[in-house]
Amino acid sequence: MTEQAYGYFDDQRKEYVITSPFTPSPWINYLGNDGFYGLISNTAGGYCFYRDPKFRRLLRYRYNNVPVDCGGRYFYLKCDDEIWSVSGRPVPTELDHYECRHGLGYSRFIASKAQIRTELTCFIPLGQTAEVYRLHLSNQGEQDKTLNLFSLLEWCLWNAEDDGANFQRNLSTGEVEVDGSVLYHKTEYRERRNHYAFYGVNQPIQGFDTDRDSFLGPYRGFERPLAVEKGQAGNSIAHGWSPIASHHLELTLAAGESQTLVFVLGYVELPVEYKWQAPGIINKQPAKRMLAAFDSDEKVTAELAKLTAYWQQLLGHFHIQSPDERFNRSLNIWNQYQNMVTFNLSRSASFYESGIGRGMGFRDSNQDTIGFAHMVPERVRERILDLSATQKKDGSAYHQYQPLTKKGNANIGGNFNDDPMWMVLSTANYIKETGDFSILDARVNFDDEEGDFDHFEHLKRAFSHVVNHLGPHGLPLIGRADWNDCLNLNCFSEDPNESYQTTERGDAKVAESLMIAGQFVLYGQEFVQLCKLTERHKLADWAQQHIDLMVGAIDQHGWDGQWFLRAYDARGQKIGSQENQQGKIFIESQGFCVMAGIGLQDGRARLALDAVNQHLACEFGIMLQQPAYSDYDKYKGEISSYPPGYKENAGIFCHNNPWIIIAETLLGRGDQAYDYFSRISPAYLQDVQQLHKTEPYVYSQMIAGRDAATPGQAKNSWLSGTAAWCFYAASQYIAGIRPDYQGLRIMPCLPSHWPSLSVTRQFRGAVYQIDIANPHGLSQGVVDMQIDGEPVPGDLIPYARYRGQHKVQVRLLPPEQG
Ligand code: BGC
Ligand code: NOJ
């Protein structure tokens, strides 16, 4: 049965079109690409911030409030006795037409009511610290109409955490200035802040409000402000309490007439000496310049065109044409878009991440680069070096850092023992994409050691950190946790006030991780390759010996008979074994050990993946482990704190599904890989929108597993490593277009029913048009390649020989014909 659908893809415009303001959860989009960002829901809820969603929040947003999605960029219209919102909320009036189009970097709301059609387009122009809202109104009726329009934003008092907690102070700090049509938010500007915000419109206004309670009226919510009901602003000036910015415009539209208004919400920083224009009066020059840049429809249209061209260019680096339109739309549009968002924001600000908790995660951000390096490699280089600078001299790393200060976050500290090796992945992937070996020579200090170190030294210490932290079986010590934050084997917490993430007891010298073991072998091999490519042969030999030892330890102590063990706990007992009653098999070690090549020759890899299929795969994806933990167990920690089927306790934790997808391709099982991909990829979930609940155009962190009350229901959309990994798996392992040091490799592992596949790939300045024919219905085959009509041996397009534009023709042949 097909459930009610709340929207559909418009691939032509690269938009997702939402057809109801009452989606199962707010379906959001992101605005901004670099430094100034906004979250915007399908009813214009959300907020924006400059760089740091905790310290530089412009708009107040009430997470987890009722009604949900409370606070945003609101526009109220009053015409005769009818009041409505142009984005479908917060006024609950039913619209004659509602449509939200989330596009790449903009969102558009189209509504009609009382024969007034409105089109509101919200975006952050490239390179600007401002959100621009263009409101187009037209009278489609036969009568002239007089409309009262009210805008509304509620200011956050900058520090979002303090704003939601420290009322004894912050209800006395708010300050505003009004200058014509521009409303300024200058809270705390009198003291140490050298930044303010403003909200302007390119027309004279009839009135304004800057004090929330005056605008809303006593005990009212956003859904029915008194000022709107009266059709009259109060010209209120906020002194403390809750400052807002609301314009009141009275508009007359003749029958058939249209009008366009442009609103700009801007953020300005000034050097201390230029802060004031007169005592107590803020310097408005930069705001005026910004307003002037967007004071007409034409200027806004031109900026929107730039944004579209920017995305067109970015998405041009990888474009796929397969026989499956869902696969194409996912890879060509939404997955790459989500990759940019995860790269920018790590796990900081979404509908599920409050923007005040986490900074940039070390493991998260390193992994996010693998979905983004082909798009803006310069930013990836910078990010890797920022991460490198938060590493400590012993090779461990701060688990998170704050984007504003770029300093390691002391509250959470380190000891997540998978962290260091992710930097080998990000660095190797970056160099394969760009050929830029100079990143290895970049000077970077350690967080706790000044000196003249290069980035390569950081990778070496990352590798050494694992070597120096081995447990009783010669396997890597897990520390606080490995990739699975919730497998807390050294925590033993019995106190609900303790944090699982930071509590660690004992000397942590026993609990070991097979996930880190596989990760060490996999990225250790990358490290060895980097050593060889930079003529560090002795170091390569040394590293290889440690990898060989690790492979031996996995063979001896990490195989459970049918699959790879997950861990040894602090008492030396097995986790993820036949011997266990619950948590017999885990996904992470199957993914990482097979990706590392362990068991590929002797059949164990096949057994392990078959076991995944048998025990972990379900309709909605591959569950993290089985059977779920039914009770809390202090020797396992947070994983056993979740009700069965949710999050790490046997949920489908999408991030690790692509590890299995990649592993399947290493076995050549393209049909299975594709099947797993289609279970979690949002483009395939159009028919289960109501159940799935989160946005049908982006990956979510988790889909509830078989044991849950609601299997198939997703949570935590947008900011998940799933995005980068799914793109990496689908583009590099299913489509098999894989950057390597010497060029681009063509190593597809396709669903066998695909007769062909085309990919346009920009790579180190060249453009390859790659056409792959699969005449024998294979998944994997011998690659028979011609470049510009010339046969080329092997599966590599040698970068040095083929610059510029080239046509690459590939045929997949059965081994006997290859
Ligand atoms: C969640 C994890 C998350 C961690 C981060 C846990 O509660 O279950 O998925 O990584 O918190 O702090
Ligand atoms: C979410 C975190 O962001 C990520 O770092 C972690 O690996 C997963 N949760 C699994 O626990």
* Tokens, residue 112: 């009609």
How many residues are given for the chain?
818
Whole-Å CA distances, 52 to 57, 131, 562, 782: 7, 16, 47, 49
Residues contacting residue 77 through CB under 8 Å, at least 6 positions apart: 83, 84, 85, 86, 113, 116, 118, 147, 148, 149
**Cα angle 150, 156, 162; round to 5:** 160
Counting ligands in written order, the one closest to the CA of 348 is 2
Which atom of ligand 2 is nearest the CA belonging to 653? 10
Per-residue DSSP letters for 678-693?
HHH-GGG-GGGHHHH-
- Answer whether 482's CB lies under 8 Å from 416's CB: yes
CA 681 to chain centre: 15
* Residue 648 Cβ contacting ligand 2 at under 6 Å: yes
pLDDT digits (tens, 9 = 90+) for 42-95: 999 999 999 999 999 999 999 999 999 999 999 999 999 999 999 999 999 999
Looking at this protein, which amino acid is placed at residue 273? Answer: E
Looking at this protein, which amino acid is placed at residue 35? Answer: G
Residue 633: predicted pLDDT: 98
Catalytic residue selected from 418, 447, 482, 485: 485
Counting ligands in written order, the one closest to the CA of 647 is 1
Looking at this protein, which amino acid is placed at residue 185? Answer: H
The preferred substitution site among 353, 416, 485 for testing ligand 1, maximizing ligand atoms within 8 Å of CB, is: 485
Residues contacting residue 688 through CB under 8 Å, at least 6 positions apart: 3, 712
* Residue 484 Cβ contacting ligand 2 at under 6 Å: yes
- Considering only CA atoms, which of 658, 661, 636 is closest in space to residue 649? 636
* Residue 647 Cβ contacting ligand 1 at under 6 Å: yes
Residue 159: predicted pLDDT: 97
* Residue 485 Cβ contacting ligand 1 at under 6 Å: yes
The preferred substitution site among 365, 398, 486, 715 for testing ligand 1, maximizing ligand atoms within 8 Å of CB, is: 486
Report the nearest-CA residue for atom 7 of ligand 2.
Answer: 483
Mean pLDDT of 645-655: 98
pLDDT band at 1 (very low <50, low <70, confident <90, very high): very low
Which atom of ligand 2 is nearest the CA belonging to 358? 3
Q: Indicate the average pLDDT of the chain.
A: 97
Report the nearest-CA residue for atom 2 of ligand 1.
Answer: 485
pLDDT digits (tens, 9 = 90+) for 159-205: 999 999 999 999 999 999 999 999 999 999 999 999 999 999 999 99
Question: What's the 485 CA to ligand 2 centre distance in angstroms?
Answer: 6
Q: How far apart are CA 42 and CA 739, in angstroms?
A: 37
Question: pTM of this prediction?
Answer: 0.97
Phi, psi of 361 (to 5 degrees): -80, 140
State the pairing for strand pair 585-586/145-158.
unpaired
Asked if residue 770 has pLDDT above 80, the reply is yes
Which atom of ligand 1 is nearest the CA belonging to 485? 10
* Residue 624 Cβ contacting ligand 1 at under 6 Å: no
Which atom of ligand 2 is nearest the CA belonging to 648? 11
* Tokens, residue 28: 């959001």
Which atom of ligand 1 is nearest the CA belonging to 358? 12
Residues contacting residue 593 through CB under 8 Å, at least 6 positions apart: 514, 517, 518, 521, 554, 558, 564, 599, 605, 608
Residue 818: predicted pLDDT: 64
* Residue 363 Cβ contacting ligand 2 at under 6 Å: yes
- Within 10 angstroms of residue 117's Cβ, the number of other Cβ atoms is 18
pLDDT band at 3 (very low <50, low <70, confident <90, very high): low
pLDDT digits (tens, 9 = 90+) for 4-48: 789 999 999 999 999 999 999 999 999 998 899 999 999 999 999
- Answer whether 213's CB lies under 8 Å from 242's CB: yes
Q: How far apart are CA 720 and CA 347, in angstroms?
A: 7
pLDDT band at 402 (very low <50, low <70, confident <90, very high): confident
- Answer whether 399's CB lies under 8 Å from 361's CB: yes
* E strands in 446-603: 512-513, 567-568, 574-575, 585-586
The preferred substitution site among 501, 642, 701, 719 for testing ligand 1, maximizing ligand atoms within 8 Å of CB, is: 501
Mean pLDDT of 542-562: 98
Residue 431: predicted pLDDT: 98
Percent of the chain scoring above 90 in pLDDT: 96
Partners of 136 in beta bridges = 119, 260
The preferred substitution site among 425, 483, 636, 648 for testing ligand 2, maximizing ligand atoms within 8 Å of CB, is: 483
Residue 513, sorted as left (phi over 0), alpha (psi -120 to 50) or beta, turns out to be beta
Residue 485 annotated in active site: yes
* Residue 501 Cβ contacting ligand 1 at under 6 Å: yes
Q: How far apart are CA 291 and CA 478, in angstroms?
A: 53
* Residue 347 Cβ contacting ligand 2 at under 6 Å: yes
pLDDT digits (tens, 9 = 90+) for 779-794: 999 999 999 999 999 9
Question: What's the 484 CA to ligand 2 centre distance in angstroms?
Answer: 6
Burial of 422 (0-12, 13-18, 19+ CB in 10 A): buried
In what helix (H) or strand (E) does residue 526 lie, and over which residues does it extend?
helix 514-533
* Residue 483 Cβ contacting ligand 2 at under 6 Å: yes
- Answer whether 484's CB lies under 8 Å from 548's CB: no
